[in-house]
Structure 1
């Protein structure tokens, strides 16, 4: 007997909806209601489809049915790397790459890119729960990558982010319903955005490095 899974339900929804290549899928809130899934479960299913090259995502625009394998779709090594990578090594990889991306964002960010960064920061600060916070935090880091105006760096970041989503995060324990107002990431996010807005590449690099180091410290101690 075939067992219905969140992934199979999502695939059936796409097939039954007669979506054509290039069409945008409904927002996550619509999909969760239509499929009867929690947002976290839906996002894992979407992550799998993205890894398979079935869909692709554009921050601020939505999720689209792929016409062909996008240039930034996960490569064949994706699953193997995800299995081998620990959360600590994942954070070390982020600390090596994302500060350099923030540096480039400070050089190239447009007014529109800065507006997307600010919107993501505000969304994270006003998030009613951790799941929503993480969604806006993800949007923020995507927006910073897109602010580089460098397709290769954006593709590299998306690969990095895709691997991060696939890594087991069993060490993360939430003790509050939502991020407290004193959550240190709020000030760290604004420091990164301020450096990018002020066209301060070194400041943006250092602010991002401090932020990722701070997150790593809270989760795993010094790395």
Structure 2
């Protein structure tokens, strides 16, 4: 399968579009540091979407360091000095080579994260991984909820390293990769790609649970190379 990168633009899902709009307002100063974002209800009504879509958009902004959420209070724009100094605009990834380079960065990051997670995870991390896998394999696995669960798996794995920088960078990249997952599903036989992807994630989970970092790294390598192959991309891997 060769990916038509025009599909990524056409398949850009609603949370990303909303997050991009809010991020632009923050970067351009229309929403200031310390400002509280409108409630989920107000944002959902303003954008004409469901609250779950808004919730996912806020999660993306949080991963990018643009907002912080306070339990029971809401989401607030972070101070500029506390934000990561990187930002990748979604338009930049319409280009095949730029997208391949993002995946190339993902390869060493997530392979190393899998190995560290195998060593440092606790029972709570495994429980969360199992929760994402249950969502990936449940009745909603054919829908966008399956994609959300897929990305959540990678974020949970990053958190299991006990290194917050893995969580930050992998979470940041995952939101961009979500568009590729949508495009890959659109360009393949859905049943085949979903079942293969689930099997790859199960193999990673079992390797992490066994506390074998070498096995976990290899399982993640197979998954990422399989994912890039399904996108018609080729990475350098040694």
TM (normalized to structure 1)?
Answer: 0.68
Aligned to 2:167: 154
**Aligned length, in residue pairs:** 202
**Which of 1 and 2 has higher RCO (CA within 8 Å, sep 6+)?**
2
Structure whose residues are more often helix by fraction: 2
2:154 to 135, 141, 147: 141
| 1:65 aligned onto 2:76 | yes
Aligned residue for 1:37, secondary structure, equals: coil
8 A contact 2:114–2:158 mirrored in 1 = yes
Distance 1:39 1:220 in 2: 34
Once the two structures are superposed, residues 159-202 of structure 1 have per-residue CA deviations (whole angstroms, 9 ceiling, x without a partner) of 3335546x778953526896559621111111101111110000
Distance 1:108 1:48 in 2: 25
Distance 1:56 1:195 in 2: 33
Deviation at 1:74, TM superposition (A): 3.9
Distance 1:49 1:182 in 2: 27
Go from structure 1 to structure 2 and tell me whether the alpha carbon gap of 1:118 and 1:170 turns closer, same or farther (over 3 Å shift). closer
8 A contact 2:185–2:193 mirrored in 1 = no
2:85 to 65, 75, 85: 75
CA RMSD, aligned part only? 4.3
Once the two structures are superposed, residues 80-117 of structure 1 have per-residue CA deviations (whole angstroms, 9 ceiling, x without a partner) of 99457622222222112101000000000010011001
Distance 1:200 1:65 in 2: 40
Q: Which runs of 5+ in 1 are unaligned?
A: 12-19
1:55 to 51, 54, 67: 67
